[in-house]
Amino acid sequence: MMDEAAQRAAIAALMAEHGESHASISRLLGRNPAYFQQYMRRGSPRLLPERDRALLARYFGVGEDRLGGPPPSGMAAVPRLDIDAAAGAGGLSEDEVRQRPASLDPALLRRLGVRAAAASMIRVLGDSMEPRLADGDEILVDRDRRTPSSRTALFVLRSDGVLNVKSLRAIGRDIEIASANPAYPPPRIVPGESVEVVGRVVWLSRAML
């Protein structure tokens, strides 16, 4: 379930996108003029009532799950990490992760062999993995698959407190870490124990990996 901070962040992003103010949203919801400002800035109420959440979702043209509601009937709720798995310089630390659910077809998860409890969606930042992954792509990460093999595959890894998405290949007890974009430094080989693998990238909106 989305927490109150994540709900406010999601609504703030939609308000900015649509050019809405606190007062205009209060009017939309049929509330007093200060209602929405108090919710956004003071956390009162802590979470929006279901009625208000539903009205906002319809107005902004998004699913209620994007604002902390349940996923559409028959869909699986998958945590979407509000963090950049950087295909380049690195993402934020784990302490800065906030979750907002994504809705995926359970049939897709079954086809990919991914348990819903082990699935996460992460947004890619940067161009080091182009043309395989582009800046802004959302990738599905299977946290059950954390062991690279001798066959190169895409993984999300944490190094020095930041997340990256890279091609990994096991070479004995070592791991080769590589970018796809030839403009970036060549592959490097590091001891396997020095790399914390978060999970394997198995899908994005454009293709199955």
User: Could you please report the per-residue DSSP string of 152-198?
Assistant: -EEEEEEETTEEEEEEEEEETTEEEEE-SSTTSPPPEEEEGGG-EEE
Query: What is the predicted pLDDT for the residue at 26?
Result: 94
For residue 169, report the phi and psi dihedrals to the nearest 5 degrees: -145, 130
Is the backbone of residue 149 left (phi > 0), alpha (psi -120 to 50) or beta? beta
Query: What is the predicted pLDDT for the residue at 67?
Result: 84
Query: What is the predicted pLDDT for the residue at 84?
Result: 56
Question: Beta-carbon neighbour count of residue 115 at 10 Å?
Answer: 12
Query: What is the predicted pLDDT for the residue at 95?
Result: 42
Look at residue 115 and give its three-state secondary structure.
coil
Query: What is the predicted pLDDT for the residue at 100?
Result: 55
Please give the chain's pLDDT, 209 residues, in tens.
567 788 888 899 899 988 999 999 999 999 999 999 999 999 898 888 889 998 998 888 887 878 877 766 677 777 776 455 556 655 544 443 445 567 788 888 888 999 988 888 888 888 999 988 888 888 999 999 999 999 999 999 987 777 889 999 999 999 999 999 999 999 999 999 888 999 999 988 654 45
Query: What is the predicted pLDDT for the residue at 205?
Result: 66
Look at residue 78 and give its three-state secondary structure.
strand
Question: Beta-carbon neighbour count of residue 7 at 10 Å?
Answer: 21
Q: Which residue, among 207, 201, 205, 204, has the nearest Cα to 146 in the 3D structure? A: 201
